[in-house]
Amino acid sequence: MELAGKVALVTGASKGIGRAYVLALAQAGATAVAVARTMGTPKPGTAPAKGTLAEVVQAAAAKKLKIHAIACDLEREDDIKRTVDEIVTNYGRIDVVINNAAMFPHYETLDITVEEWQQNLNINLLGPYLLTRHVAPYMMAQRSGSIVNITSAVARPTEFGSAGHTGLMPYCVTKAALDRMTHFFSEDLRAHNVAVNALSPGMVLTDTWLTVAPQDAAAAEKAGYARHPTPEALGPAVVCLAQQTAATLTGQILHTNDYGKTWPKAA
């Protein structure tokens, strides 16, 4: 599935990994739609604030690319439905969904409140489910499409399930559940030629990581394990997955570092 003439939606696209993904998809020829909570329309004569949709649109324009922005609260199903309906009304279709939006807080394991658990579940797991549920009928009708859930290596028990990493419990648990949901959706949508895969970006030095765990992020950067979230570093893998259908690649949990090694590059 070539991306020219296709419509791609990226959640959590105002900053970090999502920002890199939506720019990469625009560069690949897709009609790219950036979705996040904060539009951040600046006052006349001022630059848009960093971490807003308005800033991403401006950054794309500087590269002679066009990105469309829609503010959406992924904790509200009515907002998700409105966003999907708006995209279909404006562009006639939805071909690619990148479920990237997530929260990444640290907690004391025994002190996580019910409200904190619920918010993590809402954003990291229920949001991708609801967006997929509302997008799937359009993809099924056109008999093509690709849904990419952005996961993490911490979903695996061998990664961050040990002492010293339990402050990430809600993030790890919701990402593990997202992997399982990827498998379920891939089987349910296979007959309709819709691909559903999950992609782990690897250790990426985002502003969120620098804010939540600055010492860990700084150590990772010094060790050479982290990279900044640029379209050049992260884009090729997500563009490849965006081009898939169930006939080419589906039901896989993949890692960016393995792109072009254990899984194929885009044609």
Read off the pLDDT of residues 13-32 as tens digits, 9 standing for 90 and up.
Answer: 999 999 999 999 999 999 99
Mean pLDDT of 134-145: 98
Of 39-53, 73-87, 147-161, least confident by mean pLDDT is 147-161
Which comes out higher in pLDDT, residue 106 or 121? 121
Cα 251 from Cα 249, distance rounded (Å): 7
User: What proportion of the chain, given as a percentage, has pLDDT over 70?
Assistant: 90
Is 196 in contact with 98 (CB distance < 8 Å)?
A: no
The answer to whether residue 45 scores a pLDDT higher than 50 is yes
Per-residue pLDDT, 218: 74
Give the pLDDT mean for 162-180: 81
Give the pLDDT confidence of 49-59 residue by residue, as tens digits: 989 999 999 99
- Two structure tokens written together for 212: 């939540």
Respond yes or no: is residue 66 known to be catalytic: no
Q: How many CB atoms lie within 10 A of CB 28?
A: 23
> Would you say residue 225 has pLDDT above 80?
no
Residue 97 predicted with pLDDT over 80 = yes
Q: Give the range among 157-161, 167-171, 227-231 with minimum mean pLDDT.
A: 157-161
pTM to 2 decimal places: 0.91
Whether 259 is catalytic: no
Among candidate residues 175, 222, 259, 261, the one labeled active-site is 175
Instruction: Tell me the mean pLDDT in the region 216-241.
Output: 81
From the list 21, 138, 171, 259, the catalytic residue is: 171
- Is residue 209 predicted with pLDDT exceeding 70? no
CATH number of 7-258: 3.40.50.720
What pLDDT, on a 0 to 100 scale, did the predictor assign at position 162?
Answer: 45
**Confidence check: pLDDT of 249 > 90:** yes
Percent of the chain with pLDDT strictly greater than 90 = 69
